[in-house]
Structure 1
Amino acid sequence: MKNLFTLILLAFALSASAQGNDKREQIKALKTAFITTELSLTSDEAAKFWPVYNAFDEKQFELKHQKMRALGKKIEGIDSMSDKEALVVINQMEDYEEELFQNRRKLVSSLKSIISPVKILKLKKAEDDFNRKLLRQYKEKGPRK
Structure 2
Amino acid sequence: MKKIQSLLITLVLVLVTWESFAQRPGQIDPEKLQAARIAFITTRIDLKPEQAEKFWPIFNEYNDKREATMRQIAELNRNSESISEEQAKERIKKRFELQQALLNEEQQFVQKASGVLTAKQILMLNNIARDFTRQLYQRQRGGGGGGF
Q: TM (normalized to structure 2)?
A: 0.70
Structure with more helix by fraction: 1
Higher-Rg structure is 2
Runs of 4+ in 1 over 6 A off after TM superposition: none
Q: 21, 24, 28: which one pairs with 2:30?
A: 24
Query: How far does the alpha carbon of each residue in 1:89-139 deviate from its partner, in whole angstroms, 9 at most, with x for none?
Result: 111111111111111111111111111111111212211211221222233
What is the match of residue 71 of structure 1?
Answer: 76
- Partner in structure 1 of residue 95 of structure 2: 93
Is 1:121 equivalent to 2:95 in the alignment?
Answer: no
Aligned residues: 119
Distance in 2 (CA, whole Å) between partners of 1:72 and 1:28 is 28
Identity %: 25
Q: Distance in 1 between matches of 2:96 and 2:67?
A: 17
Q: 1:129-144 residue pairs with structure 2 within 5 A?
A: 129-140=131-142
2-structure distance, mates of 1:125, 1:38: 10
Amino acid at match of 1:56: Y
Residue identity in the other structure for 2:50: D
Would the alpha carbon gap of residues 118 and 23 (structure 1) be closer, same or farther in structure 2, given more than 3 Å must change?
A: same
Tell me the C-alpha RMSD between the 2 structures.
2.2
Judged with a 3 Å threshold, the aligned counterparts in structure 2 of structure 1 residues 79 and 58 are, in CA distance, closer, same or farther, namely: closer
User: Equivalents in 2 of 1:138, 1:71: separation in Å?
Assistant: 27
Distance 1:101 1:89 in 2: 18
Q: Quick one: which of 114, 117, 141 aligns to 1:112?
A: 114
Distance 1:135 1:89 in 2: 30
Q: For the residues of structure 2 that align with 1:125 and 1:44, how far apart are their CA atoms?
A: 23
Q: What is the TM-score of this pair, normalised by structure 1? A: 0.71
The 3 A distance-change label for structure 1 pair 34 and 93 is same
Rounded to whole Å, the distance in 2 between the matches of 1:23 and 1:100 is 27
Note the residue ranges of structure 2 that are not aligned, 5 or more in a row: 1-25
> Deviation at 1:68?
2.6
